[in-house]
Structure 1
Amino acid sequence: MAEPFIGEIRLFSFNFAPQYWSTCDGQTLSINQNNALFSLIGTTYGGNGTTNFMLPDFRGRTLLHANATYLEGKPGGAESVALSATSQLPAHTHALMANSLAGGTNVPQGDVLAAVADAGKTTYAPAKAAPAATMAAGALSPAGGSAGHNNMQPSLTINFCIALTGLWPSRS
């Protein structure tokens, strides 16, 4: 394996960091003991910048190339999301369909709402009679909730490690 650049990140298929490497798990390092690495990444990933700095934390993250929208070292996203009916779901309605024919039974199972021919006696029509009329919006109560749902794309975990020592990367 060629000598890495200081701060280079590589993927390893085993579950430990090789000698002179560290896992990208957000750990805090001493500036005095890792001066070269600190001079390259500074406090991009955290730390106080006087006595310590932090390595990137890739646990539970998908990696993106930095740009004007996604700044280097700034995390984003979430593994799960709780939906808010007022801000994350588009406005919509559900029509409660009924049949305009006179009902023939008081049993709702397998039937649809129907016109009432004789109050209280025949409220439902056979389901085979296609619903033809839309009831008032207030006849159907809201459903759902704001419980979280999984937001992770299909993934495979692997060990990301950063080189603590190596060649100094010169700018091109």
Structure 2
Amino acid sequence: MSPSPSHPEHSGQALTIMKVEPIQHTGIVVTCRAQEASGKLPDRHSAYFDNISPPLEWTGVPEVKAWAVIVEDPDAPRTKPFVHWMLWNVQGEVTALPEGLPNTEFLATPQGGIQGRNDMGGYGWFGPRPPAGHGVHRYYFQVFALDDVIEMGPDTPLPELLNALKGCTLATGEMMATYEAPNPQ
């Protein structure tokens, strides 16, 4: 059975946030002021256009030492969710990321932030780029409050980062955004 344009075939694997049991059960509220009322990410954040990371904000958590952010697309036509962004060791007092972070391994702002490889092989943000005709995809922005920094470098694969998150996550939160391939002109 082939997927319909409005309901793409899903990867079948759980998102990272579903594999982590936080110490606290208080949730983190995650928002993106660029997100449209419909839930769609603006074109400038997609890899079809400017491919710049969106601005994010989240609520604080007591005693947090660092934050991690993972963005995944479970609607990608593959066996596991597509990783669009991995960022960790954002200092605990930070509760927002500006739009347009550079695609580098180590960030000057927020200081201490490390960006891992996305599933296109680059560091930092790789914006939505669902296949044309594949329908609307969902992008889960997952935020993890950590009780310590993660001593791993930018080439750390997601399964290893996940193992570290399992041992130091105080609380989690997520928001979902959508994006669909633009119609060809």
TM-score calculated relative to the size of structure 2 = 0.22
Looking at CA atoms only, which structure, 1 or 2, has the larger radius of gyration? 1
TM-score calculated relative to the size of structure 1 = 0.23
**Greater RCO between the two (CA within 8 Å, min separation 6)?**
1
